[in-house]
Amino acid sequence: MMKNRKKRKVTSTASSPLPTAIDSLPDDVVADILLRLPSAAAICRAVFASEHWIRVASCSTFLRRLRDIHNYPLLLGHFVSPYGHGITPPHFYPAPLHSEADGLLAAMVRRGDFFLTRLQVQGPGQHVLEDCRRGLLLFSDTGTLRVFDPMTHRVSSVDQLPRRGGRAPDHRGRRLCLLPNGDDPGAFRVMSLQHGNGKKLARLEVYDSCIRAWRVLSGAGTDKIPARSHMVQIYRGHYSPAMHAGDRIYWKYAVADSLLSLDTKTMTFSDVRLPPGVSRQSAYAVGETKDGTCCLVRVLGSGQSNRQMQVWRFKVGDDHGGNGDQMWELERQVPLILDSPSACLSGCQVGAIVGGIVVLCFNNSSSYQPHIAFRLKSLKVEAEFTCRGLARPFVIE
């Protein structure tokens, strides 16, 4: 007879939790992990741990935090719109690698769609680059507007302008600008500025992506908007682009030593006189320093040996009384010595100032002109390229 065996008491033990998968971490946790890494090379290696981490690191919000904490240069490259708008989209010129920090940015460019393939899939057309602001690009066709984020591949179609006077909406003959819309990096506003003439009044319309609608702004001082013929042309009917600086947009006049200014907070226009000694014939542009301060950069002289750079700071909040002497303060004037063979050429124009990056365009006998992008504070050359057209720096601001 078999002896009774004691049954072993089986006790259930709580299974230890599975380790957290890296793909399940929230975006803000992933961003905090990456920002705590000691170097850009370490960040670059960690980013490619998963698709999720790549997506977080490709976000403009993360790159802005990266810039603020580590002071990395965040010039990704330049978009160039060929003169004589054709069916070819703008070309992208990636910024060259100077350090391990740039390797991270190069990885983000490879991850993004900076050759605009997604945009071309949306449909045929001219794809005219109207503006570039805060990591977003604004494109227009005859009756279509699109806002494209090359970092995330997101295309946002903008509803057509309302019909006016029974006529079909048409973006030609208008100035189009891209504006941020609050803290959401995906939200934006599009401004459509219609110049007046002897037969019609100037008009300002603004599209809000949050409500997906256009509205006409009345009482915005549109009586100050001059006829289109009074604005500076850069090439046979192509007008000088909008110059963004903080909460203002500036345009150059062709017939006066002043600027047309739009305060994007109050959406009102005003005239701003140029600083003393700066005229409409001067080589200058308005933009932002690295910390977002509005500045005007003027280049004087020709040739590397006697070229000077003036940096004027706009005095925000002062009672200027319309006086250019009081609006601007000369912050510094220094010899402009750039480490580049192109800097030896005689004439140049200031093309743009974005996030403390200055773009100079040099004159030569060819229609393809040398360009130099350099840091306003240190004069360090960040990029050199030759192109035919208007170059816009793509900077994570």
Question: Which amino acid is it at 316?
Answer: V
| Distance (Å, whole) CA 103 – CA 141 | 35
Query: What is the rounded average pLDDT for all residues in the chain?
Result: 80
Residue 325 has pLDDT above 70, yes or no: no
Are 59 and 34 contacting, i.e. CB atoms less than 8 angstroms apart? no
First to last CA, the chain: 87
Which residue, among 78, 80, 99, 100, has the nearest Cα to 88 in the 3D structure?
80
Segment 181-198, tens digit of pLDDT: 876 767 899 998 877 665
- Given CA atoms 330, 291, 60, 145 in this order, what sign does their dihedral have? negative
Pick 5 or 153 by higher pLDDT: 153
DSSP state of 208: E
| Distance (Å, whole) CA 244 – CA 357 | 13
Segment 333-383, tens digit of pLDDT: 999 999 888 888 878 999 999 999 999 999 877 778 899 999 999 999 999
Which residue, among 184, 98, 81, 99, has the nearest Cα to 138 in the 3D structure?
81
294-300 vs 188-194, strand pairing mode: unpaired
The pLDDT value recorded for residue 329 is: 94
Please tell me which of 22-31, 52-61, 66-75 the model is most confident about, judged by mean pLDDT: 22-31
Angle at 255 between CA 249 and CA 258, to 5 degrees: 40
CB count, 10 Å around CB of 221? 18
Domain ranges of the chain: 275-391
Can you tell me whether residue 224 is helix, strand or coil? helix
| Distance (Å, whole) CA 376 – CA 339 | 14
Segment 228-242, tens digit of pLDDT: 666 766 544 456 789
Segment 260-286, tens digit of pLDDT: 898 888 888 888 999 999 999 999 999
